[in-house]
A and B are shown apart, each in its own frame.
Chain A
Amino acid sequence: MELNNLSDIFQSKLRLMIISALMTGEKTFKEIKEITQATDGNISVQISNLEKAGYITITKTFKGKKPQTIVAITPVGRNEFIQYVNLLNLIISNAQNE
């Protein structure tokens, strides 16, 4: 029953990894790629989805002459993630108590 209430955003493993990585602070695209070991295309698609949902912000800057994409989690994203983790823990502890 509780699973139906879980946000669709976190149903994707890659999106979940991206949000988890962002919980420790903003990251560049390169850092996200290093942490998630996903392809550029996949990461681009997923961070676009997360941005549309209002969970993250994407800032495009330049480091010298090289373009750099910085991704940061929003307060909404942070709260949703925390709620998701709490719900997961609740489901697991309820199942263990049964």
Chain B
Amino acid sequence: MTNQDLEACKRDIEIIKSTIEKSKVNLGSLSALFILYGIIMLLDTVATGFVAHAIYITQDWYLVYENILHVLRMIVLGLFIFYYANRFLKLRKSNNFFTLQLFGLWGFVMLFVPLMNTCFIAVTKAVCGNELYMGANPQLIICSIPGILEVFSFVFALMATGLMLNKRTITVASACLFIALLMLYFVLPSTITVIENHEGIMIYNYIGLRTNAGRTVTFLGYVIMGILLRRKKSENYGT
């Protein structure tokens, strides 16, 4: 074994290391997106709760504040879409296929689904009026379907991310989350005994509880994912 051979081996190791480093997924940009989105969700949940409980002076005032909140949601979502598009265009220049794939997947979950949900609520309010959202109306369950899609699309995207990054922790956590949400959204309702006189109130309270639980889970999920991705700024894709 000559020194030349040894140097050649060391050189090859360096080539391998630097090449793998260059081909890694850039997760730093995605982490900022997650954390920001999680914070927006938290503020929205707090604001919704505040409107529901603290400002319930009269029904009319409640409706006014709820509609203002809904308009604010649309504005924030619009700003977020703009921010996302800006980051996506910058990432496209780097031509990193895997980061783009991951970015695209989460863009769909963070933007398209809530946008669909927001539009659905706006259209429903315009067509059916605010009564649909007030108390004793079982049709409220149907109106909450886009909200359910929002939560479950988050879980499925999380599962896909775990598979893409080959991170068993993320995949297993998302599977557990899926089961828990399945229980909360579909199994539990069938076990609740609805008392005849209080049917409307019970359904309304249950949906409120479910919505808040779903939002809390997704907000926590986004923030935790953001922190995890920030700590592991680059990951091997697949291996």
A interface residue numbers (CB < 8 A to B): 1-3, 10, 13, 16-17, 20-21, 23-28, 30-31, 34-36, 85, 88-89, 91-92, 94-95
Instruction: Closest B residue to A32 by CB, please name it.
Output: B23
Q: Is the CB–CB distance between A34 and B5 below 8 Å?
A: no
Q: Is the CB–CB distance between B95 and A23 below 8 Å?
A: no
Q: What residues on B are CB-neighbors of A30 within 8 Å?
A: 95
**Sampled A-B contacts (28; CB under 8 Å):** A3-B1, A3-B5, A16-B16, A20-B19, A20-B20, A21-B20, A23-B236, A23-B239, A24-B23, A24-B25, A24-B237, A24-B238, A25-B23, A25-B236, A25-B238, A28-B97, A31-B23, A35-B23, A36-B19, A85-B13, A88-B9, A88-B12, A88-B13, A91-B1, A91-B9, A92-B10, A94-B1, A95-B1
Please tell me which one of the listed residues B10, B22, B98 contacts residue A35 in the complex, with CB atoms under 8 A apart: B22
Q: What residues on A are CB-neighbors of B19 within 8 Å?
A: 16-17, 20-21, 35-36
Q: What's the nearest-Cβ distance from chain B to residue A73, in Å?
A: 10
Q: What residues on A are CB-neighbors of B98 within 8 Å?
A: 24-25
Counting residue pairs across A and B whose Cβ atoms lie within 8 Å, the total is: 71
A54 to B20, CA, bound (A): 21
Q: Is the CB–CB distance between A31 and B97 below 8 Å?
A: yes
Per-residue CB contact flags for chain B residues 17-51 toward chain A (1 = under 8 Å, else 0) read: 00110111100000000000000000000000000
Q: What's the nearest-Cβ distance from chain A to residue B67, in Å?
A: 43
Q: Is the CB–CB distance between A24 and B6 below 8 Å?
A: no
- How many B residues touch A, CB cutoff 8 Å? 23
A21 to B5, CA, bound (A): 24
B interface residue numbers (CB < 8 A to A): 1, 5-6, 9-10, 12-13, 15-16, 19-20, 22-25, 95-98, 236-239
A3 to B7, CA, bound (A): 12
A27 to B101, CA, bound (A): 13
Residue among B10, B16, B96 with the highest chain A CB neighbour number at 10 A: B16
Q: Is the CB–CB distance between B12 and A23 below 8 Å?
A: no
Instruction: Closest B residue to A17 by CB, please name it.
Output: B19
Among all A-B residue pairs, the 4 with the closest Cβ atoms: A25-B238, A20-B19, A25-B237, A21-B23
Q: Is the CB–CB distance between B97 and A92 below 8 Å?
A: no
